Structure 1
Amino acid sequence: MSLFITSLNSGSNGNCYYIGNELDAVLVDAGISCKETEKRMERLGLSMKKVRAIFISHEHSDHIRGLPVLAKKYRLPVYITPGTLQRGGQTLQDELVFAFRAYEPVRIGELLITAFPKFHDASEPHSFVVSSNGITIGVFTDIGAACEHLVLHFKQCHAAFLEANYDEEMLEKGRYPYHLKARIRGGKGHLSNRQALELFLAHKPAHMTHLLLAHLSKDNNCPGLVHELFTRHANGTKITVASRYEETPVLRIGNTQLHESEYSIRQVLQGSLF
């Protein structure tokens, strides 16, 4: 059984990632509106009826902005730490709130979702890996440094959403005030292109077929630049840059190369996989 993944949006204006199989799916973060989430999933041929839960990485608004409406409308369980819930200031119905702990997998249908801590300037920030039938997908964004937790899980992934937030020279020469530049590159902010590439080169497993570069800065990065940088070193891994303006195509991730890994919107809409 394959896993199907897409970024519905990725950036400081909102983050939301879909991971699922033919029967069940989860969303990691809900940083765009419920309406926009529905529109983008419909364009991809994905059904909200397959979404069984939402997992929240941390409380910053670009990761939780659409959460209350989405959870309430579809009666979706929200997996969130107590600190993130408190600091986020979002009103959620008690019966929809479920706590998770690092390294304690949560089963959603045939999906296993495991959280682990990360370096970020939030209350209780976590990254996630989603696994099913021997396939593992990582969601690794909003990370100040590549800690041992990240390295351990990155090595397991068949595909991953990996932050490549900023080009170091663009940030240094850009218009941001010093305190904001210091926050971004200070170890609890975001990964630079160089940091992300170093992780990729040192720890990419042989079975990683897809890498989606995520959470690019609007002002301090360039999609073409980072795509070219990683493509030069991809060695067979398909590189996709997740947009801050639209959804990416649905990618099919599996243990076999006998099928196409990327589906056009037309193919998805005509098929019955989702």
Structure 2
Amino acid sequence: MSLFIASLNSGSNGNCYYIGNNSEAVLIDAGISCRETEKRMKRLGLPMSRVKAIFISHEHSDHIAGVRVLSKKFKLPVYITDHTLQYSGLELETTVSFRAAEPVTIGTLTIHAFTKYHDAGDPHSFMVSGNAVNIGIFTDIGRCCEQVTRYFKNCHAAFLEANYDRDMLFNGGYPYHLKKRISGGNGHLSNDEALQLFLQHRPAYMSHLLLAHLSKNNNTPEIVADLFRAHRGNTEVIVASRFEETAVFEVRNSNEPIPAPVPVYSQTSLF
């Protein structure tokens, strides 16, 4: 048994992640337009009819820009906390409130929400479980708190933020207050912080790691790829793009150390 995952877009210009099985799926965030979401899923061979719900992590525009049209067109319930809905200013037809530590069931999928550090009103991250497979979505994270590490240790695959290279950020042209916002513990994870989480808490059976939410100005796919290259072991490491979808990857339910990753399509893996 398996789950299938893909990044439809990842970056400050929009975030949307797909997790599902052969009959049902959820989207985590909807930060790209409805049209682009449809186009990218069609290219991947993923039918929109399989999507049963959208989960929103927080109210920043790169996570909610497409949710109103997408949810209305496909009659999808939007799972969003009361505070995030209030801060977002969204007017949605069907919303369902969720709270941390109260799992939500969508068909045979279970979505676990947990709080995180980020400069938003009520930010949450998620782990999606089904077919004895756990998929973590760890983006827009200011620091690797106990919640993040606890869930990461149980993931067969994960979307993990690697937002900025420290040298590029601190030697770049951003004003001081913005550099502090990004790196100050309520902003984003650096490449080095993401690597340390991976090295210290990766389970032996983690087959896929999708590095996500790279900064346009303070990171490059090549920098983060080079950093992870020597440490990936048997985990396939993919850098998610801010311009296009990744491949679809199949994640299997083995809890044993893996001999090799198993992609459905071969594109976008950098190693």
Normalising by structure 2, report the TM-score.
0.95
Q: Deviations over 1:86-116 (max 9, x none)?
A: 10111111xx100001011100011000000
C-alpha root-mean-square deviation of aligned residues, in Å? 1.5
Corresponding residue to 2:162 among 161, 164, 177: 164
Measured in 2, the distance between the counterparts of 1:194 and 1:237 equals 18
Corresponding residue to 2:133 among 132, 135, 140: 135
Deviation of the 1:227 alpha carbon: 1.1
Q: Give 2:10's aligned residue.
A: 10
Task: Report the 3-state secondary structure (helix = DSSP H, G, I; strand = E; otherwise coil) of the residue aligned with 1:197.
Answer: helix
Q: Give 1:71's aligned residue.
A: 71
> Structure 1 pair 167/214, CA: closer, same or farther in 2 (3 Å)?
same
How do residues 23-102 of structure 1 correspond to structure 2 at under 5 angstroms? Answer: 23-93=23-93, 96-102=94-100
Q: Deviations over 1:203-262 (max 9, x none)?
A: 000110100000000100010110121121011110000000000000000025799721
Corresponding residue to 2:192 among 191, 194, 199: 194
Measured in 1, the distance between the counterparts of 2:251 and 2:82 equals 32
Structure 1 spans left out of the alignment, 5+ residues: 267-274
Q: Deviations over 1:151-170 (max 9, x none)?
A: 00000000000000000000
Measured in 2, the distance between the counterparts of 1:213 and 1:260 equals 16
Answering whether residue 22 of structure 2 is matched by residue 22 of structure 1, we say: yes
Corresponding residue to 1:181 among 179, 184, 187: 179
Measured in 2, the distance between the counterparts of 1:178 and 1:114 equals 36
Structure 2 spans left out of the alignment, 5+ residues: none
Paired letter, 2:227: L
Q: Give 1:155's aligned residue.
A: 153
Measured in 2, the distance between the counterparts of 1:45 and 1:259 equals 24
Q: Give 2:219's aligned residue.
A: 221
> After the TM superposition, which parts of structure 1 deviate over 4 Å for at least 4 consecutive aligned residues?
256-260
CA contact under 8 A between 1:141 and 1:162: conserved in structure 2? yes
> Structure 1 pair 73/128, CA: closer, same or farther in 2 (3 Å)?
same
Paired letter, 1:193: N
Task: Report the 3-state secondary structure (helix = DSSP H, G, I; strand = E; otherwise coil) of the residue aligned with 1:262.
Answer: coil
Measured in 1, the distance between the counterparts of 2:266 and 2:37 equals 16
Measured in 2, the distance between the counterparts of 1:28 and 1:8 equals 10
Task: Report the 3-state secondary structure (helix = DSSP H, G, I; strand = E; otherwise coil) of the residue aligned with 2:217.
Answer: coil
Deviation of the 1:175 alpha carbon: 1.2
Measured in 2, the distance between the counterparts of 1:127 and 1:20 equals 17
Measured in 1, the distance between the counterparts of 2:112 and 2:261 equals 28
Q: Percent identity?
A: 63
When the two structures are aligned, how many residues end up with a matched partner? 264
Paired letter, 2:74: Y
Measured in 2, the distance between the counterparts of 1:105 and 1:121 equals 24
CA contact under 8 A between 1:44 and 1:265: conserved in structure 2? no
Paired letter, 1:262: P
Measured in 2, the distance between the counterparts of 1:203 and 1:172 equals 27
Q: Give 1:106's aligned residue.
A: 104
Normalising by structure 1, report the TM-score.
0.94
Task: Report the 3-state secondary structure (helix = DSSP H, G, I; strand = E; otherwise coil) of the residue aligned with 1:176.
Answer: coil
Task: Report the 3-state secondary structure (helix = DSSP H, G, I; strand = E; otherwise coil) of the residue aligned with 2:5.
Answer: strand
Q: Give 1:145's aligned residue.
A: 143
Q: Give 1:270's aligned residue.
A: none
